């Protein structure tokens, strides 16, 4: 499992790198918000806030974690060999059994008692929990950044609405000035009195000055509206990306949690299986001894057999509940596996081919 531990550490590093990229991009958006509030041009900040680098790190991280999850499944499936070995006799035990069946059976039971499948399963579950904790932390960070960017967007949307309203007011004011300018120009063109003409020209100059100032304000408001629009689109794209990343984390977490439940059931089923096998072995020994004893011993054995059957019946009755629960978890695992496979087919393909082109 040393290689698996190395993979987990690599995933932790990749998660940290992805989180840094997420924090960096969110900070750029927040800085742009602050500059915008102070009237500073934010076009450069918006252009630099690229999602491609973040997506590349995120896909690499999720690809590595996907391999870890598949690795957990493969390791768990490999335990079946250990289970089979525990239920059957080794070559040495078979050899000893030629001379002494009791001694061979005692050796097998001792080996079963000291088997380390429990430790291996617990270690596997611990690793699954480590990955789950890592993903849960990443999910919390994604939600935090999403909330921060959405808060910025709320303010920015209000700013753009105000800018659009101001732009519309300026347009209406300019439209209202046009008839006045045309009227004065017409009067000047027919006015022959120098004094009156000069007065009209002064009025026209004042209105033209007002018109030019409003036209300049129109340009400022238009540029502000366009900048805010680009900022809003960038923020929306980032929020959408964060939501998609969060959905990915939730799929992974759901699969790991379902897998962990399944592994607990697997261990429980193994324990019950071994105990049942030991009970059956003891019952067979009692029966063999009983054949060679007198009638009184047979009566005693009958009582023991009845007690054993009663215990066996109780165990089989309790088995129903265990099977129902196991099937429920298996259904959950199948659904989680389906979501996992559907979501990570593209990620694994990119990861295996090292084809991170940001698309």
Tell me the per-residue pLDDT of 199-249, one tens digit each, with 9 for 90 and over. 888 888 888 888 888 888 888 888 888 878 887 888 888 888 888 888 888
In a domain, 36, yes or no: yes
Q: Considering its fold, how many domains does the chain have in total?
A: 1
359 belongs to a structural domain:
no
Domain enclosing residue 203, as ranges: 2-353
Planar angle of CA 129, 133, 136, nearest 5 degrees: 135
DSSP character for 310? H
Residue 358 lies in a domain: no
Q: 């300019």: which residue's tokens? A: 174
Q: How far, in Å, CA of 308 to CA of 19, rounded?
A: 59
Taking only the tens place, the pLDDT of each residue in 105-164 is 777 777 766 665 666 777 777 888 888 888 899 899 999 989 988 888 888 888 888 888
Give the alpha-carbon dihedral of 8, 67, 61, 265, to 10 degrees.
-70
What three-state secondary structure class fits 115? coil
In a domain, 171, yes or no: yes
pLDDT in tens, 33-84: 776 666 665 565 556 567 777 888 888 888 888 888 887 777 776 666 666 6
CA of residue 221 relative to chain centroid, distance? 41
199 domain residue, yes or no: yes
Q: Which residues are within 8 A (CB) of 330 and not within 5 positions of it... i.e. 6 or more apart? A: 262
Q: Which two tokens stand for residue 157?
A: 């949307």
Residue 258 lies in a domain: yes
């Amino acid at each position: 499992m040393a290689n698996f531990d190395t993979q987990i550490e690599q995933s932790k590093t990749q998660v940290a790198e992805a989180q840094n990229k997420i924090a960096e991009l969110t900070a750029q958006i927040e800085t742009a918000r602050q500059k915008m509030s102070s009237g500073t041009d934010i076009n450069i900040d918006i252009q630099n806030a690229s999602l491609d680098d973040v997506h590349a790190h995120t896909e690499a991280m999720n690809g590595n974690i996907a391999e870890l999850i598949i690795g957990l499944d493969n390791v768990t499936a490999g335990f079946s060999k250990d289970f089979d070995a525990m239920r059957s006799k080794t070559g040495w035990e078979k050899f000893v059994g030629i001379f002494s069946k009791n001694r061979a059976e005692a050796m097998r039971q001792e080996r079963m008692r000291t088997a380390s499948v429990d430790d291996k399963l617990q270690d596997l579950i611990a690793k699954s929990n480590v990955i789950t904790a890592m993903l849960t932390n990443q999910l919390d960070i994604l939600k935090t950044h999403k909330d921060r960017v959405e808060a910025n967007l709320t303010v920015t949307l209000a700013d753009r609405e105000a800018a659009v309203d101001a732009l519309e007011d300026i347009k209406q004011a300019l439209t209202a000035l046009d008839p006045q300018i045309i009227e004065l120009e017409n009067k000047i063109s027919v006015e022959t009195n120098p004094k009156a003409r000069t007065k009209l020209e002064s009025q026209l100059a004042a209105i033209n000055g007002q018109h030019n100032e409003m036209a300049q304000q129109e340009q400022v408001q238009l540029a502000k509206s366009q900048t805010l629009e680009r900022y809003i689109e960038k923020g929306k794209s980032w929020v959408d990306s964060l939501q998609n990343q969060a959905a990915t984390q939730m799929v992974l977490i759901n699969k790991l949690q379902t897998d962990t439940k399944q592994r607990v059931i697997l261990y429980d089923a193994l324990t019950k299986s071994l105990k049942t096998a030991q009970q059956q072995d003891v019952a067979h020994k009692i029966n063999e001894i009983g054949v060679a004893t007198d009638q009184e011993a047979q009566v005693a054995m009958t009582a023991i057999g009845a007690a054993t059957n009663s215990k066996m019946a109780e165990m089989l009755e309790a088995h129903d509940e265990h099977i129902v629960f196991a099937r429920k978890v298996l259904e959950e695992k199948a659904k989680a596996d389906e979501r996992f496979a559907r979501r990570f087919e593209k990620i694994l393909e990119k990861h295996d081919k090292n084809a991170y082109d940001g698309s």
